[in-house]
A and B are shown apart, each in its own frame.
Chain A
């Protein structure tokens, strides 16, 4: 479903070029959950951005089902969850979830129903009309999970989704993410520091020095 081969990425820091990824290969099968762990600065987020097509590799190739990642394909086939939630503050929870559907066209009754169902699935049925600043950190991340699943993506990329949450809330969010992806047959790539969370995924990889150890 997702195939990355020979991904290299480096950044300039002053006069020095720092290599972040030194030739990473990764394949994710449909419905599979993969956890990527690694130390801070090991290139986990960079790898996720390359997999999402948000950034271009210096070398290597990312393919989603055999074709190149584009913005339109990202909207249709990919859901993303971030450490900092990134909810739009002017929109309530339901509108934030529907925002993903808006990228593909004007949402109709079916999309609204699905957004409401997703919010109910993540335990926020009573908070659909709340603005992000009226929600707790864990609730915001659950809204972000619902948004990532709105367009029924084939793949969800989650970049340290528990980084801004306390341990108990973080566990709940990861369980939710894994559970929903398992139910819907959605592939999941989860980047985390947490070994316990990694253990819950189907496959765990460790990124060290720009390569999988």
Chain B
């Protein structure tokens, strides 16, 4: 290896010294910054990933809606089934209702399930607890697990469901009784808001309660793997009749997804300042090193080193600290992510804040999603910042004239 790289390594890890303190502190500073970046971007990406998964799992890849109601869902399904990339469709209808159990009243969203086709689009069975989809009939209901807890009901008990259509009936002096439905199971999506507000019934029951007749609100579509949802939506729109529109889950949730990405980017930029501060600490350490080693720098000149090689020696020290800090930071960050739920459990136990965490952060487990692109960005930023941190000391060292450096006290 070239002498300047050799000497850079020796100055950071001197022969015969077991623990190079200054090097360790510099590496630790970079490592902490990198670890925080890895943890925060992964957790933010995890929230985003969970939300995206939840959206797709509850709405499908593409949603087809009419300006009003869709009277011929079967015909519409047959039309979109011919579009390349569409692998399955299911009818959907949803609306707010009032639920009464004993003296408790809540206002969840009632969703009609197309039992024959739903599992082709939405993996409903994987969210069901203590029941299967076959248990759902026209007189029964599945409750979101939090809604189930809030009502304090039990499987097998009945709840009353009041539709907003009752208001229309009362204006016409017609008395309509609420629909009594037996609880057959619970579903746990893992997202607090949905688990508190979801009520699943068969499509016929939904149509009956909302007086839809045979109509639905539209179709949820499942696309083939790796199919671009926006491109598929454009192809579907080309075959849809007037007044019916297809939109991908990306388009339907564009603002929300933009906010998620913006939040992730902001956190990345803010935490990057920790690496920048660590970089300044590396600069400071190396500047002190240049001052301490002034006479050695003079000696290197006497041995035949040119200023560029002397500069490279200090630049490499910044780079080595950056690489060491980045590797240590990645290990620390990925290790923390691996044990994140155990850490959160201990933290929430110590602070008695489990319930608040669940309510505020919506997810029952702290999600994490580490992408290669995020890691590449973090590693690049860390290594570049650390190398830049070595530039000023390198410039100072290169500027020293050997004669003056040798004479320095």
Contact = CB atoms under 8 A, between A and B. Distances in A.
A71 B402 CA distance: 11
Question: Does more than half of chain B's interface fall in helix, strand or loop, or is it mixed?
Answer: helix
A75 B303 contact: yes
A76 interface: yes
Given A99-B303, A100-B303, A88 B406 contact: no
A125 interface: no
Contact of B304 (A49, A71, A84, A91): A71
Nearest to A85: B299
A74 B304 contact: yes
Contacts of A80: 302-303
Interface string A33-69: 0000000000000000100101100000000000000
B299 A88 contact: yes
Contacts of B11: 90
Contact of A91 (B10, B302, B305): B10
A176 interface: no
Given A86-B406, A91-B15, A52 B302 contact: yes
A95 interface: yes
Contacts of A114: none
Contact of A106 (B1, B10, B298, B406): B1
A92 B304 CA distance: 20
Nearest to A86: B299
B15 A131 contact: yes
A110 B3 CA distance: 17
A102 interface: yes
Interface string B387-402: 0000000000000011
Interface string B285-318: 0000000000110110111111000000000000
Contacts of A30: none
B407 to A, nearest CB: 8
Contacts of B304: 71-72, 74-76, 78, 103-104
Contacts of A88: 7, 10, 296, 299
B14 A90 contact: yes
A192 B377 CA distance: 59
B295 A86 contact: yes
Contacts of A76: 304
Contacts of B306: 71-72
A49 B403 CA distance: 7
Give the bracket for the number of chain B residues in contact with chain A: 20 to 34
B3 A103 contact: yes
Interface in B315-332: none
Interface residues of A, number: 27
A102 B3 contact: yes
A90 to B, nearest CB: 4
Contact of A84 (B295, B402, B403): B295
A14 B403 CA distance: 20
B16 A131 contact: yes
Nearest to B9: A90
Nearest to B298: A86
Contact of A54 (B1, B6, B402): B402
Contacts of A54: 301-302, 402-403, 406
Nearest to B404: A55
Contacts of A131: 15-16
Given A71-B301, A86-B295, A92 B16 contact: yes
A132 to B, nearest CB: 11
A131 B17 CA distance: 11
Contacts of A100: 303
B10 A90 contact: yes
B3 A99 contact: yes
Interface in B8-53: 10-11, 14-16
A89 B299 CA distance: 12
Nearest to B13: A90
A88 B10 CA distance: 10
A72 B303 CA distance: 9
Nearest to A134: B16
A95 B299 contact: no
Interface string A97-124: 0011011101000000000000000000
Highest count of chain B CB atoms <10 Å: which of A80, A100, A103: A103
Nearest to B6: A102
A89 B7 CA distance: 11
A71 B305 contact: yes
B324 to A, nearest CB: 17
Contacts of A52: 302
Given A54-B402, A103-B3, 10 more contacts: A72-B306, A74-B304, A76-B304, A86-B298, A88-B296, A90-B14, A92-B15, A95-B15, A103-B303, A131-B15
20 contacts: A54-B301, A54-B402, A54-B406, A55-B402, A72-B306, A75-B305, A76-B304, A86-B295, A86-B296, A86-B406, A89-B296, A90-B10, A90-B14, A90-B15, A95-B10, A95-B15, A102-B2, A102-B6, A103-B303, A131-B15
6 tightest Cβ-Cβ pairs between the two chains A and B:
A75-B304, A102-B3, A90-B14, A86-B299, A103-B304, A55-B403
Interface of B: 1-3, 6-7, 10-11, 14-16, 295-296, 298-299, 301-306, 401-403, 406
